[in-house]
Amino acid sequence: MNKPILPSLPVRGSVSVPGSKSITNRALVIAALAEGVSTLVAPLESDDTEAMVDCLEGLGVRIDRWNPIWRIQGTNGTFEPVQNVLDVRASGTTARFITAIASLATAGIIVDGVPRMRQRPIGTLTKALRDLGGDVTDQAGYPPINIEGSGLNGGRIVMDGSVSSQFISAVLMAAPYARSATTIELTAVTSRPYIDQTLDVMRAFGADAGWEDQTTLYVDRTGYRAAEFAIEPDASAAVYPMAAAAVTGGSLTIQGLRRDSLQADLGVIPVLEAMGCSAEWNERGLKLIGTRDLVGVDVDMNHAPDAAVAVSVIALFARGATTIRNVPNLRVKETDRLAAIAAELSKLGAAVDERPDGLTIDPGRLRGASIATYDDHRIAMAFSVAGLRIPGVIIEDSQCVSKTWPGYFETMERYLRPAVVAIDGPSGVGKSTVSRAVAERFGWGHLETGGYYRLATLAVLRSGADPTDPVEVAPVVEAADIGIRDGVATLNGEDVTSELRSDEVTANVSAVSAMPDVRVQLVVKQRAWVAATGPSVVEGRDIGTVVFDDAPLKIYLTATAEERARRRAGDLGLAPEEFDDLIKKMRKRDEIDSTRKASPLRAADDAIVVDTSDLTIDEVVDLVAGYLDQVVA
């Protein structure tokens, strides 16, 4: 599914992010190894954690889930598999952790995943397990992996942690069930905070493990004890709301984040502060305050490499170049993230210098683009932030965010403030004139949504479908490529402006407009128009209640029926004797609009109601413009 992103005014409010993926998966593994029944509180539900649960169940672990509580029956370090092939899907974390603990199984296991998984190196881990006495083979350093359940001897080994700290974490978590104590000497390490996080979770379940010195880890043969363990909000997920606040100049509070957390991605906060943002910790969590005057930075992000994706996007809106260094492991994630970032930033107009271990981003003349996501959740979430400032950003295959945050886009839409003024009201109140004048004053786009219903009706008439039959009408409207830009209405690429007011369209537009499926489809098309256009004034009859119920400024224009009829009579050049009939028609139209089942005409609860009966057009425009000045400020 492709997702157009609506440009936003400065974001405001607070947001809850899901539980930490990295902590959830560590806690699942350790609880599965422990003696007794463990309880996890508020774990993350996502594709990655589902992959871990499935693999643990394949190893014979019982996991009962009554959200937000999961209970895991531990095995005390001995797995009795019920499957011989464990599918880790696209989860690198699962592949590494399961490979290590499967060495403790009583039968042979094969660990495999999606095709991309067979391109992600795992040789450092399999060698370490062999050095500890495990019977583990890979395919020239890559999955699939064959593991015989011979257990681990323990002892002293040397590991290179430069590719992924998860290799080290995997060995650490299995080591309490080795036959003797384990010591790991590191020749290099990346993302050290993730190792500290692993040790923290291990100790919560009773393990004796830690640092002997700066490069040496120890794990005693203690096993684990069952525990109740609460999962923190995910700092990795929190990076994207932080980025939204940063680029829009807004402020968001990320609920539940802890200043003393060991999560690596909190390392992005000093980077954002260096770019001009400010961060405030309080009892609710972290408040990130952005600025429209961001500055470029030169930063080593080895401590928080996943957050580098979001920082790369934030760099689009900074003064000067931004250089991100020492993140070579981004090349072996769900995709080669450095290459992907460079390609997609270039589409948006940036000049990008890609190096083996990083990037330099020089903001250019930015433009909208359709962003490839490479089945990578972090690419999708990070580049969605670009769309908050750049009109025309579309996130391709947006469902890939389900890997770690299935509800990401729904959450995003709750805290963003679309750069939209929604103007509603019945006919004859001056909606079109006022909305067009406000749009011109602010240099914003203007959309008169009534034209969309006429375009939809014209599409139905041209197709030969029965305009009174919803079953025939709905697929025609869904397939139609319709749009209005600079006063020109197009249907499937053809200028049809002159046909919109034809008698046939006028006679059928009410029937087509009343169909719920048609209104749903046109809401999607109208929101896509704004996403492609940028800040807009949108007018119609259900804009503030349905189409842009999230608009930060909603205006409902009204006037007495007599005044509206007087204006319309003047527009149409009607004779005085036709006036009473016009009032009746307008009242009848109001009744139809306000009582229809789909999107009835009414003022939104948070709309500002403006009675224009005794106001000139200029006075109404000045009034609305004043409200918009306050919202933008």
Written as one string, the DSSP assignment of 416-483 is -EESEEEEE--TTS-HHHHHHHHHHHHT-EEEETHHHHHHHHHHHHHHT--TT-HHHHHHHHHH--EE
From the list 54, 234, 265, 306, the catalytic residue is: 306
Does domain 21-230 fall under CATH 3.65.10.10? My reply is: yes
Residue range(s) in the chain whose domain bears CATH number 3.40.50.300: 419-444+536-633, 448-534
Determine the straight-line distance between the first and last CA of the chain, rounded to whole angstroms.
34
pLDDT of residue 574: 66
pLDDT of residue 590: 75
CB-CB contact of 424 with 607 (8 Å): yes
Residue range(s) in the chain whose domain bears CATH number 3.65.10.10: 3-17+233-415, 21-230
Query: Considering the domain 419-444+536-633 in this protein, what is its CATH number?
Result: 3.40.50.300
| Bridge-based pairing state of the strands 351-355 and 358-362 | antiparallel
pLDDT of residue 562: 82
* Cβ partners under 8 Å of residue 263, min gap 6: 20, 22, 23, 193, 197, 232, 234, 235, 236
Q: Which fold has domain 3-17+233-415?
A: UDP-n-acetylglucosamine1-carboxyvinyl-transferase; Chain (3.65.10)
Look up residue 114 and give its amino acid.
V
Query: Catalytic site residue 306?
Result: yes
Q: What is the CA radius of gyration of the chain?
A: 29
The CATH superfamily of 448-534 is P-loop containing nucleotide triphosphate hydrolases (3.40.50.300)
Diameter over CA atoms, the chain: 103
DSSP letter for 79, please.
Answer: B
Alpha-carbon distances of 354 from 272, 326, 340, 348, 497, rounded to whole Å? 22, 12, 10, 16, 47
pLDDT of residue 561: 81
Divide the 633 residues of the chain into consecutive groups of 10 and give the mean pLDDT of each group: 94 95 98 99 96 98 96 98 97 97 96 96 97 97 94 97 92 98 93 94 98 96 98 97 98 95 94 98 96 97 95 98 96 94 98 98 96 97 98 97 95 92 90 95 94 95 96 95 91 95 92 92 93 94 92 94 76 66 76 74 92 94 96 83
